[in-house]
Structure 1
Amino acid sequence: MSLRRVLTSIMVVLGLLVLASIGSVAVLTRYFQRMSDGVGLATEGVRLPQDLQAELLNHYRRSVEPSAESPAVQEALISASENRLLLGLDAVTQIALSTEERDLIDGVRQQVYAYFVAEREARRLPTRENLQYTNRALDMAMYSIAFLTYFNVKEARDTEDQAVRWSRNALVGSTALSTLLLLGLAGMLLWMRGAVLRPVIGVSQAMRRFGAGDKETRAPERGPAELREMALTFNEMAATLAQRQEEQLTFLAGVAHDLRNPLAALKMSTALAGSGRNEASPERIQRMLTLVRRQVARLDRMVGDLLDAARIEAGKLELHLEERDAREMARSVVELFEASGQGRELRLSVPELPVPLRCDGTRMEQVLNNLVSNALKYSPTGTRVDVTVSRQQDEALLTVTDRGIGLSAEAKHHLFSPFMRANNARDCAPGAGLGLSVARRIVEAHGGRIEVESQPGQGATFRVRLSLSRPSPPALPWTAGDVVH
């Protein structure tokens, strides 16, 4: 379960609900506006027929009843009344909402026209039959107008009832959408509390306890994938820090132990030299001085490895690059260890042609010193250690091969880690476990790499690969006649 996907899904659902709410409000607003317009037109459709009825009665009264006005004035009043009736019919037609209503209005128009014809004939020949015919035409026109009024009243009531139903439906729909939104928000908050907030609090509390010194504390790996990954990362970091602290404590104990041995030897030598009980012979003094030099060299190497490791971890390892021949560096290292081979044969193999490198010569000799020293340290007496310099395409290959105790696959995996030493190595020789780590970082700082091949009991082969330096192009001859542009 991914937090991003869940939140995206929740936001999409809530967004759709919000859009549905907005769309419903817009549709209902438009519908109610139309309903309001329809009710207004229906109301007007009731008023206008009533006005038609009143005007029709007024027209009948003017045409039938005796009038005090002159015939010309009376004719003008009747004509004006007819015009008002025709305009009223046009007004009713314009507000008609349905085809059925238009058909009713057409019927009213025909009845009114029939009344006009009968009324004109009754005025021309005011006989009893014509008057009765005019009255029947008036009744038919009044009845058709009354039916039109009834139709408009019924239509207005239907529109009102429909508006009420839509209003109820809108209320139910809006209540349902609001409830869904509230339930969605409440569900999201509850889910966030249980699936997000609690794991985050768990990780925070684990960090706080770890910072307070509880190195065994671990964060609960639960919740969405991102939070589980964060908790897993913290747990791995905590385990690594705890392991590193344990390794450092072990390293400090080993360093203290390793420092105590040469210091004890130095203390014993100085005590014997200054006891004054017997005059020491020159041979004994020479052996004591040799022992002192050896122990001081061990101390110097251990302190140097510590300082180099500290510089590397701080990112302050400085390289002073220069052009060096790998053969010369290998010869210098072999000559240094030949005098103290301690019963091991040290053999050097170099090519005839130079193997040019652009490197920090001192640092690269330090790497070779470490490899050769380890090879001699872990090789049985009477065996041979080979130091080889060769070229492979564009690379210089520095190889140190011994026939010592060898390394297991697990030991090779952690060989170049700080403070790490194989179990069989601890039994054979003292050390802090920093030399190979420092050597690897020095080689990598030169853009190279260091490799190892080994089997338990069959010795080990360390290879250092570095890029050959390219020769600089020869300088062009320059004379005083040359012009520089």
Structure 2
Amino acid sequence: MSLRAWLAAIMGGLALLTLVAATALIVLTNAQNHSANTLGNSVEGLHLAEELEIDLLIHFRLSGVTGPVEVTSERIRGRTLQSIESSFPRLLEGLNRSAFGAPEQALIREVDEHFRQYLATQREAARLPLRQRAQRVIPALDASLDSLERLVQLNVEEARTARESSADLNRMGNTVGLVLCGLLLVGLVTGTYLLRRIAWQPLRDISQSMRRFGAGRKRTRAPVAGPTELRDMARTFNEMANSLTHQQEQQLAFLAGVAHELRNPLSALKLSTALTERSRAQLTPERMQRTLALVGRQVERLDRMVGDLLDSTRIEAGKLELRPEVRDARELARGVVELYRSSDGGHVLQLDVPETPLLVRVDPDRLEQVMANLVSNALKYSPSGSRVDVAVRREQEDVLLLVKDQGIGVTEEEKGMLFAPFQRLGDARSKRAPGVGLGLSVARRIVEAHGGRIEVESTPGVGSTFCVRLALATQEAGGAVELPEATAPVPPDALH
């Protein structure tokens, strides 16, 4: 699982808990607000019902049904039947506004009907004697008071229910709040622990592995653990460490090979000098000539090795200098073939070129160096008496320089390392052919610096074909064709 997925899961879980907490808070707040409104309406209805009941009793007393009225109460003083009757609609309207639910509204309509009947009875009984008036009015008064009492009881019950509901919601809110806070705390602790174990620990292991590797412990590798991103990071570091270790081993092997290759010509020079010193009196011109030829070959061999090293160093430093000219590829190939024909008598070297010029814009010395390396390798790794073909071809807008041998060949697996520096593959090592393993690497970099590429086709035990592919140049783009009057001699085994 990737680190992004872990973080998304943790943040999603915390966000879900937060959303649940917010939703619960909204629901509880709305429920609490509803309970508060219900309680307020019930109290308001209770107050209006009690006030209406009091005004009804005052109205009954002021009507004189029970006899002469003595005004002794502050509540009655200054009030008349008309003012009290005008307050009834206002109080009933207030009850309607504060009514909660259909039962209360039905009971308020009943109260209103009883009040109307009471007032109508009062007006009808006004002409009757006092005793008869009381008999007519008191039942209507009792009915109105009874409905008002039932309305009061209903409001009391509603207020009690709303208060209990509010208390329940308050307890529920406390419980839900505590549970959600606990879940959030557990989520944070769990997320922190998972991040520490899943992400921070592997990241610390990778960092420690890098420090150990940088401190010189080259066998240190990072453990591949944790999320996908950290696994990829660990694999990348391990691949880099393996590559650096392999490169260091190659460089050490290369230095050992260079030391060995340098020792051979130096030993030959030392031996030639010692023989010359010992037999100076018997030194004949023929022997002197052979000795000088041997010394010359060894010096040339040393010069080639040093040249390979310098070229490789310049290429790696990006300081390879090219002096491009427009030249005929046929003449460059012909010069290299003539040189090797004169120096090698154990192989058949054939040249195949077209009749028309094939122009390329190259540094002639460097391209001859590449061709010399390919021809030298073909001769070096081919059995004596075999044939080596050098050809120049045109393929659309490219010029092809081909070198085909009947040598040892390479496998498909070895092709990937063929142009790597310091590499000398199986049979090349077993045959102990001279060289330090830089020739093909230098040749490839030179060709690539000209905008071309080297291709190879090979079959083990049958032979190899190397193809240098360069862009075709026009005479107008490069000026007049400069054919070399005398190319610089490229000795055998020039690079490898």
The offset of 1:360, in angstroms, is 2.3
Structure 2: segments with no counterpart, 5+ residues: 72-76, 480-496
How far residue 275 of structure 1 moved from its aligned partner, in angstroms, is 5.7
- Looking at structure 2, the residues matched to 390 and 22 of structure 1 have their Cα atoms a distance apart, in angstroms, of 80
Aligned residues: 472
Query: In structure 2, how many angstroms separate the alpha carbons of the residues matched to 1:187 and 1:263?
Result: 72
The 1:299–1:16 alpha-carbon spacing in structure 2 relative to 1, beyond 3 Å, is: same
TM-score (norm 2): 0.89
Q: Which stretch shifts more, 396-405 or 273-282?
A: 273-282
Do 1:378 and 1:428's aligned partners in 2 also have CA atoms closer than 8 Å? no
What is the SS of the residue equivalent to 2:402?
strand
Alpha carbons 2:61, 2:69 under 8 Å: kept? no
Deviation at 1:210, TM superposition (A): 1.2
| CA displacement at 1:272 relative to structure 2 | 4.3
Closer, same or farther: CA 140–223 of 1 in aligned 2, 3 Å: same
The answer as to 2:68 corresponding to 1:66 is yes
Residue 149 of structure 1 is aligned with which of 136, 146, 152? 152
| Bigger RCO of structures 1 and 2 (CA < 8 A, at least 6 apart) | 2
Structure 1 distance, partners of 2:217, 2:338, is 52
Q: How does 1:118-197 map to 2 (within 5 A)?
A: 118-197=121-200
Measured in 2, the distance between the counterparts of 1:474 and 1:4 equals 57
Alpha carbons of structure 1 residues 470 and 19: separation in structure 2 relative to 1, 3 Å: farther
2:383 corresponds to which of 380, 385, 407: 380
Q: State the shift of 1:333 in Å.
A: 1.5
Q: C-alpha separation between the residues in 2 aligned to 1:293 and 1:390?
A: 36
| Match in the other structure for 2:402 | 399
Distance 1:67 1:165, change over 3 A: closer
CA drift at 1:274: 5.3
The amino acid that maps onto 1:48 is L
Which residue is equivalent to 1:348?
351
From 441, 455, 459, the counterpart of 1:455: 459
Aligned residue number for residue 235 of structure 2: 232
Aligned to 2:491: none
Q: Does 1:285 align with 2:288?
A: yes
Q: Secondary structure at the match of 1:440?
A: helix
- Give structure 1 stretches of 5+ with no counterpart: 476-485
User: How big is the shift at 1:139?
Assistant: 1.8
When structure 1 is superposed on structure 2, of 226-235 and 286-295 the one drifting more is 286-295
The residue number in structure 1 matching 2:492 is none
Cα distance in structure 2, aligned partners of 1:307 and 1:68: 135
C-alpha change, 1:31 and 1:314, in structure 2 (3 Å) is: farther
State the alpha-carbon separation in 2 of the partners of residues 27 and 374 from structure 1.
Answer: 87
Deviation per residue, 1:191-227 (Å, 9 max, x gap): 2222222211221121111112121121111122222
Partner of 1:390, secondary structure, is strand
Aligned letter for 1:416? F
Cα distance, 1:379 vs. partner? 2.5
Q: CA 1:214/1:103 → structure 2, altered by over 3 Å: closer, same or farther?
A: same
Higher deviation after alignment, 132-141 or 266-275: 266-275
Following TM superposition, by how much is the alpha carbon of 1:176 offset from its aligned partner in structure 2, in angstroms? 2.8
For 1:9, the aligned partner's letter is: A
Q: Deviations over 1:62-100 (max 9, x none)?
A: 11152589xxxx998110011112211111111111121
- Deviation, structure 1 residue 145: 0.8
Whole-angstrom CA distance in 1 between matches of 2:217 and 2:162? 76
Preserved CA contact (<8 Å) 1:357 1:468: yes
**Structure 1 residues 406-428: Cα deviation after superposition (integer angstroms, max 9, x where no partner):** 32333333111111101321223
The residue type equivalent to 1:448 in the other structure is G
Which residue does the alignment assign to 1:15?
15
Counterpart residue type for residue 11 of structure 1: M
**1:4-403 alignment runs, 5 A limit:** 4-64=4-64, 65-67=67-69, 77-273=80-276, 277-278=280-281, 280-403=283-406
Q: Secondary structure at the match of 1:396?
A: strand
Could you say what the CA RMSD is over the residues aligned between the two structures, in angstroms?
2.4
Query: CA 1:318–1:184 in 2, change beyond 3 Å: closer, same or farther?
Result: farther
Partner residue of 1:442? 446
The answer to whether the 8 Å contact 1:49/1:148 transfers is yes
Deviation at 1:313, TM superposition (A): 2.2
Offset, 1:29: 1.9
More moved, 341-350 vs 76-85: 341-350
Q: Judging changes above 3 Å, is the alpha-carbon distance between structure 1 residues 354 and 474 closer, same or farther for their aligned structure 2 residues?
A: closer
- Taking a change above 3 Å as real, the CA distance of residues 128 and 441 of structure 1, as seen in their structure-2 partners, is same
CA separation in 2, counterparts of 1:257 and 1:157?
Answer: 107
Q: Secondary structure at the match of 1:472?
A: helix
Shift of 1:466: 1.6
Give the secondary structure class of the aligned counterpart of 2:80: helix
Cα distance between partner residues in 2 of 1:76 and 1:165: 45
Distance 2:475 2:313 in 1: 35
Q: CA deviation at 1:266?
A: 2.6
Deviation at 1:474, TM superposition (A): 12
Q: Distance in 1 between matches of 2:425 and 2:147?
A: 116
Give, in whole Å, the separation in 1 of the partners of 2:183 and 2:321: 67
Single out whichever of 351-360 and 272-281 deviates more from structure 2: 272-281
Task: Report the more deviating stretch, 196-205 or 176-185.
Answer: 176-185
2-structure distance, mates of 1:147, 1:51: 14
SS at match of 1:124: coil
Conserved? CA contact 1:55–1:81, under 8 Å: yes
| Contact kept? 2:325, 2:478, Cα under 8 Å | no
Q: Distance in 2 between matches of 1:125 and 1:142?
A: 23
C-alpha distance in structure 2 between counterparts of 1:176 and 1:182, whole Å: 10
Q: Tell me which of 406, 411, 414 is aligned to 1:408.
A: 411
Q: Write the distance in 2 (CA, Å) between the matches of 1:263 and 1:342.
A: 26
Once residues 375 and 429 of structure 1 are traced to their aligned partners in structure 2, the CA distance between those partners, rounded to angstroms, is 12
Aligned to 1:466, the other structure's residue is in SS state strand
Distance (whole Å) between structure 2 residues aligned to residue 168 and residue 36 of structure 1: 15
Quick check: 1:390–1:397 contact (8 Å CA) kept in 2? Answer: yes
Counterparts in 2 of 1:35 and 1:317: CA distance versus 1, 3 Å: farther
SS at match of 1:457: coil
Q: Within 1, Cα distance between the matches of 2:206 and 2:38?
A: 64
Structure 1 residue 112 displacement after superposition: 1.3
Distance 1:318 1:19, change over 3 A: farther
Q: C-alpha separation between the residues in 2 aligned to 1:175 and 1:441?
A: 72
The alpha-carbon deviation at position 162 of structure 1 amounts to: 1.9
Q: Which amino acid aligns with 1:376?
A: L
Question: What amino acid does structure 2 have at the position aligned with 1:451?
Answer: E
Q: 42-51 vs 287-296, which deviates more?
A: 287-296
What is the CA distance between 1:327 and its match in structure 2? 0.7
